[in-house]
């Protein structure tokens, strides 16, 4: 009986650690609303696609995000849809943006969905870059802790165009980002 109780307790602890937030926040670009497709392939012509900007807060949560996006010449960015949970949005994706949510986030959350068009078949990336209006330029989250301190985040992936995507594994100690969920 004792062994069964110890086993159950160990499983509960393990289950809690599997669902725990990462020690550092992540931001990534995806071609789907489930943050699972990180590349777009154009067989030729003029290919419409959607790009989502997804954030995974650290163990400190996230109330705001600051970053910019860089598009290659082969991409025509178009209509942007903000997550309805965003209460304040300043700037532009290319010039640098800051968005704030009305509540804390502790799980994956998207900030923007954008319609785009891919016009070439060459390999390239749409990239998350530092917000040039931040001092110093940075990509970062405001946490849910008292005073909403800023924390550096890591780019988990950029949106690969006409090639396979690369997912960051620098902090592989968090279970290779929990095998991308």
Q: What is the pLDDT of residue 147?
A: 96
Mean pLDDT of 113-141: 96
Domains of the chain: 22-179 (2.60.40.680)
Can you read off the two tokens belonging to residue 170? 């620098």
**Residue 132 pLDDT exceeds 50:** yes
DSSP secondary structure, 29-57, as one string: EESSTTS---EE---SS-EEEEEEEEEE-
Mean pLDDT of 78-95: 98
C-alpha 159: how far from its chain's center? 11
Q: What is the pLDDT of residue 169?
A: 60
**Residue 89 pLDDT exceeds 80:** yes
Strand partners, 109: 55
Task: Give yes or no for a contact between 96 and 133, defined as CB atoms under 8 angstroms apart.
Answer: yes
User: pLDDT for 30-68, tens place per residue?
Assistant: 999 999 999 999 998 899 999 999 999 999 999 999 999
- Report percent pLDDT > 90 for the chain: 76
Q: Which residues of 134-167 are buried (b: 16+ CB within 10 A; e: fewer)?
A: beeebbbbbbbeeebeeeebbbbbbbbbbeebee
Mean pLDDT of 135-139: 92
Q: What is the pLDDT of residue 166?
A: 80
Residue with tokens 């949970």: 85
Q: Confidence class of residue 180 from pLDDT cuts 50, 70 and 90?
A: very low
Q: Confidence class of residue 23 from pLDDT cuts 50, 70 and 90?
A: confident
Can you read off the two tokens belonging to residue 56? 């995974």
Task: Give yes or no for a contact between 58 and 151, defined as CB atoms under 8 angstroms apart.
Answer: yes
Q: Confidence class of residue 83 from pLDDT cuts 50, 70 and 90?
A: very high
């Amino acid at each position: 009986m004792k062994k069964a109780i110890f086993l159950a307790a160990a499983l509960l602890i393990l289950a809690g650690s599997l669902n725990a937030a990462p020690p550092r926040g992540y931001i990534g670009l995806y071609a789907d609303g489930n943050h699972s497709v990180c590349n777009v392939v154009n067989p030729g012509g003029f290919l419409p696609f959607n790009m989502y900007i997804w954030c995974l807060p650290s163990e400190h949560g996230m109330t705001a995000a600051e970053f910019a996006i860089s598009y290659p010449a082969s991409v025509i960015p178009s209509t942007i849809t903000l997550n309805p949970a965003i209460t304040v949005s300043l700037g532009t994706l290319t010039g640098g943006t800051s968005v704030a949510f009305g509540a804390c986030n502790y799980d994956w959350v998207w900030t923007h969905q954008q319609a785009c068009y891919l016009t070439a078949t060459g390999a390239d990336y749409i990239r998350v870059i530092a917000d040039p209006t931040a001092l110093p330029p940075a990509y970062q989250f405001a946490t849910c802790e008292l005073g909403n301190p800023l924390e550096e985040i890591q780019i988990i992936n950029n949106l690969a165009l006409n090639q396979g995507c690369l997912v960051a594994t620098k902090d592989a100690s968090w279970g290779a980002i929990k095998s991308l969920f």
